[in-house]
Amino acid sequence: MRTFGILGLAAAGVLLTRPHAMPALGTPAATQRSDFTWHGVIAKGKTVEIRGVNGAVDARPASGSEVEITAHKSGKRSDPDDVRIVVVPHDGNVTICAVYPTPAGERENTCEPGGGHNNTRNNDVTVDFTVRVPAGVVFSGHTVNGDVSATGLTADAAVSTVNGSADLETTGTGHATTVNGSVHVTMGKSDWTGDLQCSTVNGGITVTLPAGLNADLSAETVNGDITSDFPVTIQGRFGPRRMHGVVGSGGRRLILKTVNGSIELRKS
């Protein structure tokens, strides 16, 4: 068994067990696999952030007070153990990334809160993250090639991908974006600050919000329809594929954009 040492987490107030990589038993020779596990306490209002590249992210409620994360790594040509799972604590938050080997002569791959750099050239390893999020902990989940799903959460959340669907259900507020895939968002909170945006290019958008919604709505598509369960007071020019108006008394921006797909604003 190989272990990965992590320094500095205790100083950030995060309790953890040491993550480990384990070869799967009975695996066909054509596919290599290994798993990484981590768990720790993150205070309510702080964020657990997942940043993958190739693979899905699935987040659901935790049964206790600890964040629990499993990263399942698999590859056919490439060695899964060459892809590191890096844990970065910062101000009581934790960012966890799949960091691929840096190609020769290229900029170094890194794990950084809110971003980092990851070039996966000629590496076919897939990393699927499973996350259990305690009540009150903010979740941020991102990948490039894979679906992102976060359901049953109880704090603000944001999910994004490029090639895959982005699905989010939370009693807080939520942002969801993709490029090639659908977007489904259900929120229990309707008094967010700033802009709240859900977008895709090739896919539909469905957003479900509480009955007492007050928002300035901007909804646009090129190939699709726009429907709303909420009465909308239209402002300026409008058509079947563009809607700008006020829901309730307005006061906060809700932006829904796609190119190839329909937009549905539903009332919970």
pLDDT tens digits for range 147-159: 999 999 999 999 9
pLDDT above 60 for 243: yes
Distance from C-alpha of 148 to C-alpha of 244, rounded to nearest angstrom: 29
Number of domains in the chain: 2
> Do 200 and 91 belong to one domain?
no
Residue 237 forms part of a structural domain: yes
* Exposure string for 177-192, b = 16+ CB within 10 A, e = fewer: bbbebbbbbbbbebeb
123 and 252: one domain? no
What tens digit of pLDDT does each residue of 214-224 get? 999 999 999 99
Closest CA to 12 of 112, 114, 97, 89: 89
Element (H, E) at 151: strand 148-153
Mean pLDDT of the chain: 88
Token pair for 115: 């971003």
Compute how many other C-beta atoms are within 10 angstroms of the C-beta atom of residue 23: 13
Please name which of 100, 109, 95 lies closest in space to residue 80, comparing C-alpha atoms. Answer: 100
Q: How many other CB atoms sit within 10 Å of the CB of residue 211?
A: 10
* Alpha-carbon distance values, 57 to 9, 21, 98, 104, 166 (Å): 23, 19, 12, 28, 10
Angle at 72 between CA 17 and CA 92, to 5 degrees: 40
Most confident of 23-27, 99-103, 139-143, 212-216: 139-143
Kindly report the pTM of this predicted structure: 0.85
Tokens describing residue 116 = 């980092």
69 occurs within a structural domain: yes
Residue 91, pLDDT > 80, answer yes
Q: Is the pLDDT reported for residue 28 higher than 80?
A: no
Q: Is residue 157 part of a domain?
A: no
The pLDDT of 77-83, averaged and rounded, is 93
Q: Which domain holds residue 101?
A: 1-143
Residue 74 lies in a domain: yes
Please report whether residue 97 resides in a domain: yes
Establish if 171 belongs to a structural domain.
no
In this structure, the answer to whether residues 40 and 128 fall within a common structural domain is: yes
Does residue 32 sit in the same domain as residue 138?
Answer: yes
- Asked whether the predicted pLDDT for residue 40 surpasses 60, the reply is yes
In a 10 Å sphere around its CB, with 0-12 CB exposed, 13-18 middle and 19+ buried, how is residue 26 labelled? exposed
Q: At 190, is the pLDDT very low, low, confident or very high (cuts 50, 70, 90)?
A: confident
pLDDT at 193: 86
Is 155 contained in some domain? Answer: no
